[in-house]
């Protein structure tokens, strides 16, 4: 068989002349404008890349001044990681630091001044772990040393002057429930951790959020038995932070949000909007939990008896009206306080239809909300003292301040700060 051979072809390439030109370097030797750096840092902070923002902050003095407000607008307090930030063994001098013009502020021995100035930019504080008494004493001594002599309330501008929102994570809530002072420091604070007391006296926050530990529906009773001790103590401590002597929160706080409620007793504060977000059914495993919405989907997953939920809600309402409260105080609470219960059927034991077992294996899912409302409506008036001026009109006014929001909602719309402060 003949083999194909290529034909000899001669090609001539006419090279095009190339112009000789000098290319500009790809990297500019001119620094980015500060406003561009701030915009980039803000986007990184919004996406929770705070470690990267921290590295950018150390680029220069000008960058430090421009980026610090972004880096510290949302501050996470964590176990041991935040101890250095809040430790002021050598208290900065009792003067207003001119951080923009004073070159000495950036010397190593003045790191306390820089940290104190940085804390003034914090707007949201997320407490994952309440600092130890030793750290808190250092922090408290700093506040007291720098506070003006004109009174406790004038110390508001010293630390966290722009703080408006505090969040207590599940671990911090557990700490507060079981807290026992380990300090030898002589202070007037004996009901709450010193760090939280100091915050209540030096910051005028508007929103307080707290979150309980999320747990599988099948384990709620076991976990309830483990957390019975200290539950009333937790409520009294939250109330003391709000209404204690010299607390700025008494006048500034507007919203209390409590998240992931299962079986727990919940705090209620006068003069604010108290919002309660009940946990939905959670099945699966702790490593891989699955959230189940209410209604038909939640049937036969077990959970809490509906009468227990009515007791929880009723307790949160009645707690603001003890029998020794006078008529004027009752009227003031009615004028300024609201209750909002979101997803009140969350984690309730429900079934499809009523059967011969009555409510032993749950209540029909279509009836749970109305049953809870009905029991609250009939039970609360019986516990209100007639001597406080409660009549039909007053009772109706009270129920007008109570709102139920059906459906599952895990987000209060205010707890939106993610990421980790380093």
Contacts of 11 (CB under 8 A, 6+ apart): none
Would you give the DSSP letter of residue 348?
B
Dihedral of the alpha carbons of 284, 287, 293, 298, in degrees to the nearest 10: 20
Tokens describing residue 35 = 């406003």
pLDDT of 90? 61
pLDDT of 292? 87
Cα gap 208→254, rounded to integer Å: 8
pLDDT of 416? 53
Considering the domain boundaries, does residue 65 fall inside one? yes
Q: What are phi and psi of 22, to 5 degrees?
A: -95, 125
User: How many structural domains does the chain have?
Assistant: 1
Cα gap 339→99, rounded to integer Å: 45
CB 173 within 8 A of CB 189: no
Tokens describing residue 350 = 């429900």
CB 11 within 8 A of CB 19: no
Cα gap 123→178, rounded to integer Å: 28
In terms of Cβ atoms closer than 10 Å to its own Cβ (0-12, 13-18, 19+), residue 245 is exposed
Considering the domain boundaries, does residue 344 fall inside one? no
What SS3 string covers 206-263? CEEEEECCCCCHHHHHHHHHHCCCCHHHHHHHHHHHHHCCCCCHHHHCCEEEEEEECC
Specify the residue for token string 């009752």.
Answer: 330
With the C-alpha atoms ordered 194, 196, 200, 202, is the resulting torsion angle positive or negative? Answer: positive
Considering the domain boundaries, does residue 287 fall inside one? no
Considering the domain boundaries, does residue 218 fall inside one? no
Domain span at residue 57 reads 31-71
DSSP one-letter string for 303-340: -B-HHHHHHHHHHHHHTT--TT--HHHHHHHHHH-EEE
CB 92 within 8 A of CB 110: yes
Cα gap 408→344, rounded to integer Å: 9
Tokens describing residue 353 = 């239809």
pLDDT of 28? 60
CA distances to 48, 68, 97, 126, 162 from 74, in Å? 10, 11, 22, 8, 11
Considering the domain boundaries, does residue 272 fall inside one? no
pLDDT of 132? 86
Considering the domain boundaries, does residue 88 fall inside one? no
Over the range 129-152, which residues count as b (16 or more CB within 10 Å of their CB) and which as e? bbbbbebbbbbbbbbbebbeeeeb
Tokens describing residue 320 = 């603001």
pTM of the predicted structure, to 2 decimals: 0.84
Helices (H), 58-210: 61-71, 83-86, 111-119, 133-146, 170-178, 194-202
pLDDT tens per residue, the chain (422 residues)?
555 555 565 656 565 666 666 766 666 666 788 899 999 999 999 888 888 998 998 888 888 888 999 999 999 999 888 888 888 766 555 555 556 656 666 666 667 778 888 888 999 999 999 998 888 888 887 777 666 544 444 445 567 889 999 999 999 999 999 998 776 554 544 589 989 998 998 889 999 999 999 888 888 888 889 888 889 999 999 999 999 888 999 999 999 999 999 999 999 999 999 999 999 999 888 889 888 877 888 888 888 999 999 999 999 999 999 988 888 999 999 999 999 999 999 899 988 887 766 667 788 888 999 999 999 999 999 988 877 888 889 999 999 999 999 876 656 666 654 444 44
CB 161 within 8 A of CB 117: no
Considering the domain boundaries, does residue 393 fall inside one? no
Considering the domain boundaries, does residue 37 fall inside one? yes
Q: What are phi and psi of 144, to 5 degrees?
A: -65, -35
Q: Is 290 helix (H, G, I), strand (E, B) or coil?
A: strand
Nearest to 367 by CA among 385, 382, 381, 348: 348
pLDDT of 109? 60
Nearest to 367 by CA among 309, 289, 409: 309
């Amino acid at each position: 068989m003949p083999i194909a051979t290529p034909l000899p072809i001669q090609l001539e390439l006419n090279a095009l002349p190339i112009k000789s030109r000098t290319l500009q370097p790809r990297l500019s030797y001119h620094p980015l404008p500060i406003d561009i750096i701030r915009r980039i840092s803000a986007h990184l902070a919004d996406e929770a890349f705070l470690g990267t923002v921290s590295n950018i902050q150390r680029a220069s003095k000008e960058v430090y001044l421009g980026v610090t407000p972004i880096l510290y607008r949302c501050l996470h307090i964590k176990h041991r990681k935040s101890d250095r930030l809040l430790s002021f063994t050598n208290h900065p001098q009792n003067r207003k630091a001119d951080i923009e013009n004073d070159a000495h502020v950036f010397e190593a021995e003045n790191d306390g001044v820089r940290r104190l100035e940085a804390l003034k930019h914090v707007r949201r504080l997320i407490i994952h772990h309440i600092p130890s008494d030793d750290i808190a004493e250092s922090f408290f001594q700093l506040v007291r040393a720098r506070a003006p002599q004109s009174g406790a309330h004038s110390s508001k501008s010293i630390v966290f002057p722009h703080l408006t929102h505090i969040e207590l994570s599940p671990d911090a809530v557990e700490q507060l429930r079981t807290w026992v002072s380990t300090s030898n420091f002589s202070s007037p604070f004996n009901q709450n951790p010193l760090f939280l007391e100091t915050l209540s006296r030096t910051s005028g926050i508007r929103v307080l959020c707290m979150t309980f530990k999320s747990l599988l529906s099948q384990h709620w009773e076991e976990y309830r038995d483990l957390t019975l001790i200290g539950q009333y103590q937790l409520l009294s401590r939250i109330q003391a932070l709000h209404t204690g002597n010299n607390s700025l929160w008494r006048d500034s706080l507007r919203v209390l949000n409590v998240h992931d409620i299962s079986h727990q007793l919940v705090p209620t504060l006068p003069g604010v909007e108290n919002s309660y977000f009940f946990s939905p059914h959670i099945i699966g495993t702790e490593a891989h939990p699955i959230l189940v919405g209410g209604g038909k989907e939640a049937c036969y997953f077990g959970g809490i008896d509906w009468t227990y939920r009515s007791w929880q809600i009723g307790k949160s309402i009645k707690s603001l009206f003890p029998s020794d409260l006078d008529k004027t105080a009752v009227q003031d609470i009615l004028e300024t306080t609201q209750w909002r219960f979101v997803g009140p059927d969350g984690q309730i034991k429900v079934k499809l239809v009523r059967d011969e077992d009555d409510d032993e294996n749950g209540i029909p899912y279509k009836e749970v909300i109305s049953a809870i409302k009905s029991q609250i409506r009939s039970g609360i008036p019986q516990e209100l003292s007639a001597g406080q001026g409660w009549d039909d009109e007053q009772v109706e006014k009270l129920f007008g301040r109570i709102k139920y929001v059906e459906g599952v909602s895990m987000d209060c719309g205010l707890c939106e700060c993610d990421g980790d402060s380093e």
